[in-house]
Structure 1
Amino acid sequence: MEGGDLVKKQQTSYTYWVRDTREDAAPLPVPRKLTADDISKPAQPNTLGSVWNQAGTWEEKNLNTWASDRIKELLKSLDSLEFSNGKAYIEGVSKCSGDAFLVTVRNKKRVGYTYEFSLKFKGEWQIQNECKKIKGHLDIPEFSFGELEDLEMTVSLSEEKDLGAVAKSQICTAMRSFLVPIREKLHKFEQELKER
């Protein structure tokens, strides 16, 4: 290639990120603070999100505090369950962690979450005409928005010295009955999350 051809080729080459320095190029936008008038103007109809995002392009809102508090509140309100050999109730939430968010994308609202929790339970169980105190944990590993039908739960008993293998198995099976009311409470949580 001769020197003149190389110069000609470099001048016509396409570059994406190079800023045009010609005088007729549009000036860069200057950021400005929103005024009280900007904020008080009614939002455009059919737009979601903040005042600064009237186009509804992308906006993400962290809902972790609200979601954690609401999940704990719902789970603490679970009723006690009666079984043929005993009864049990939820004493409290020992662990509740995860993320919840609301995203506005192209003027459409989308919500989601990923959580896990552990519940403490207490109760009584009849073993050979003797009433024994029982306690333990119900652990729900990671679950996400729209996946409540696949909810899994593990049951662990504490202070199980004199219960016996058969009684332990019966208690663990009975405690899995809490899965239905837990799922109902989490469906309520999902509905409330969608309405935010």
Structure 2
Amino acid sequence: MADGATEKKTSYRYWVREASCDAAPRSVPRKLSVDDLSKQAQLPSNTLGSVWNQAGTWEEKNLNGWANDRIREMLKSVGSLDFVDGRADITEVSKCAGDAFLVTVRNKKRVGYTYELSLKFKGEWAVGGEARKEVKGHLDVAEFSFGELDDLELEVRISEEKGLDGQDKTRIRSDMKAFLPLIRDRLRLFEEELVHRS
């Protein structure tokens, strides 16, 4: 055994592609010509997605630019609400962060998104039997996704708390939660528009 006649054999094997193999040549990407595109336009299309993806396999399209602008536009139109002791307006969409996308999988179109929002508000409330006091703050909507609008939650942050006691803050936060159905309605409309994008 000292002469090395018995070698330890291993069961591990791996395949090596050599240039001399009869393997198929590697594919080379080719840019579609104008002629290719015009021929494609003349054929009846039963596939979704791009010309290069005739099999309808995986294709993802980023819709962030359109989605961010559309969400901001829709939420700016929420407007104002009147309460028993006050009134408030949404003044700005200060945060609209997330992703929206269109995916073509097996020749079927699917859309989705995940976003976080923060909206600035300004309002006036009667505080402590005195004249109305201006109050500013934010309405924060934590991360939400396509099809989850029924679970939407709204957190109210009051920026200027000077001169407000605990009851005032609680009342203002409660009043501001009335914006939730309006925000939810705008986002439902956004989802419908997203679904109909091609």
Bin for the TM-score computed over the shorter chain: 0.7 to 0.9
**Superposed displacement of residue 32, structure 1:** 2.0
Note if 1:39 corresponds to 2:37: yes
Query: Following TM superposition, by how much is the alpha carbon of 1:14 offset from its aligned partner in structure 2, in angstroms?
Result: 8.5
What one-letter code is carried by the residue in structure 2 that aligns with 1:28? R
Question: Which structure has the highest helix share of the two?
Answer: 1
Equivalent position of 1:76 in the other structure? 76
State the shift of 1:39 in Å. Answer: 1.1
Deviations 1:85-117 (A, max 9, x none): 111010101111011111111111111111001
Letter in 2 for 1:32: R
Work out the CA distance in 2 between the residues paired with 1:22 and 1:86: 81
The aligned length equals: 187
The aligned counterpart of 2:174 is 173
Match of 1:29 among 22, 27, 31: 27
Q: Give CA-to-partner distance per residue, 1:44-70, whole Å, 9 cap, x none.
A: 522111111111111111111111111
* Superimposed CA distance per residue, residues 139-164 of structure 1 (whole angstroms, 9 cap, x where no aligned partner): 00100011010001110112111122
* CA–CA separation in structure 1 for the residues paired with 2:16 and 2:172: 66
Gaps of 5+ in 1: none
Give the TM-score, by structure 1 length: 0.87
In the alignment, the residues of structure 2 paired with residue 191 and residue 36 of structure 1 have an alpha-carbon distance, to the nearest angstrom, of: 34
Per-residue deviation, 1:16: 6.2
Between the aligned partners of 1:49 and 1:59, the Cα distance in structure 2 is 7
C-alpha change, 1:17 and 1:89, in structure 2 (3 Å) is farther
Task: Mark the CA change 1:77 to 1:55 in structure 2 (over 3 Å): closer, same or farther.
Answer: same
Match of 2:52, SS state, is helix
CA-based RMSD of the aligned residues comes to 2.3
Cα distance in 2 for partners of 1:107, 1:17 equals: 35
Percent of aligned pairs with the same amino acid: 59
Q: Which runs of 5+ in 2 are unaligned?
A: none
Q: Per the alignment, in what secondary structure is the counterpart of residue 177 of structure 2?
A: helix
Scaled by the length of structure 2, what TM-score is found?
0.86
Aligned to 2:115: 115
Report the CA distance shift for 1:156/1:31 in structure 2 as closer, same or farther (over 3 A): closer
Letter in 1 for 2:176: M
Query: Match of 1:51, SS?
Result: coil
